[in-house]
Amino acid sequence: MSKIKAFFKSYKDNIVRTKIIVFAILALIFIMCAIFADKLCPYDPYLQDLSIAYNKPSMAHLMGTDAYGRDMLSRVIVGGKASILSTLILVAIICILGTIIGVVCGYYGGAIDSIVMRISDVCLAFPGLVFALAVAALLSGGIKDAIISLAIISWPKYSRVARGQTLSMKQASFVQASIVSGAGSQRIILRHILPNIFGPILVTAMLDIGTMMMELAGLSFLGLGAQPPITEWGSMMSSGRSMLQTYPWVVLSPGLAIFISVVIFNLLGDSIRDYFDPKKGK
């Protein structure tokens, strides 16, 4: 019986590793396409030719053309540069900032912990996108301001995870031994706490990529994110929304790109979660 259990455990572990590799490769392909978008475009994404405006998808233009005769495939590829890279930058900012705040609050506690956690409670009390809309409306607009507005309201989830994990690790015997031996706080945090809370933080970040991509696209769709001439999937859908019934490919092309990207990053996040915490994957 023990051999059968070991076999199935090994089989499940191999499946999880395979899923991580496959989805990581797909995510890496999307990231590389975003980085080298300018070189991958079959046409100039900003070149206007009114004689071919609203052409249906064909062999010449796989995703058709828009109101100005611009190739939609080229615009979707270039739009990924703003959508994907901005999302990764946003997730990196809130992950690093939230983790630092959470570790400091969890390790030192006291008044700082109480004040920061009350601030995070205020941020978590409002619906994320609604709060981001309010903050973005106060700023001048643009992709940078959209990132700032989402960062302001999104860091608490990471600080909560990091704080909880730090409080747990702080009671561990090897951390207590380091404290008794006279090790400094900085050394304990860097060598003992951060490496051991890396898993939950990574899982949270990977699962957050899809959400942040949707919220960035939502802000751009509402005119509070990327502004012309920057090409971004959310703003592309916004500019073509009135043509959904007559020329659906103008809206569906960037929408499909958002859908595929979010699915890939979410599946990668789920696979990484299953690897670090198999019980939640059941």
Does the residue 97 lie in any domain?
yes
Q: Is residue 52 part of a domain?
A: no
Residue 19 has pLDDT above 80, yes or no: yes
Q: Give the mean model confidence (pLDDT) for residues 117-132.
A: 81
pLDDT at 4: 52
pLDDT at residue 281, rounded to an integer: 47
CATH number at residue 28: 1.10.3720.10
pLDDT at 10: 66
In terms of residue numbers, what domain contains 118? 14-39+71-281
The reply to whether 57 falls in a domain is no
Residue 13 is inside which H or E element, if any? helix 2-35
Q: Which pLDDT belongs to residue 9? A: 58
| pLDDT beyond 50 at 159 | yes
**Tell me: the pLDDT tens digits for 38-93?**
899 999 999 898 999 999 999 989 999 998 999 999 999 999 999 999 999 999 99
pLDDT-derived band at 279, boundaries 50, 70, 90: low
Q: Is residue 65 part of a domain?
A: no
**How many CB atoms lie under 10 A from the CB of residue 245?**
7
φ, ψ for residue 62 (rounded to 5)? -60, -30
> 61 in a domain, yes or no?
no
* Residue 242 neighbours by CB distance under 10 Å: 12
Give per-residue pLDDT as tens, 173-203: 888 888 778 777 888 888 888 888 888 899 8
Domain count, the chain: 1
Q: Is residue 50 one of the residues assigned to a domain?
A: no
Give the separation between CA 45 and CA 82, rounded to whole angstroms: 14
pLDDT of residue 247: 92
H and E: helices and strands count for the chain: 11, 0
- Per the model's pLDDT, the better-predicted residue between 127 and 273 turns out to be 273
At 11 the pLDDT is: 58
Is the residue at 176 inside a domain?
A: yes
pLDDT value at 12 more than 80: no
Asked if residue 140 belongs to a domain, the reply is yes
Mean pLDDT (the chain) is 87
State the pTM of this model. Answer: 0.87
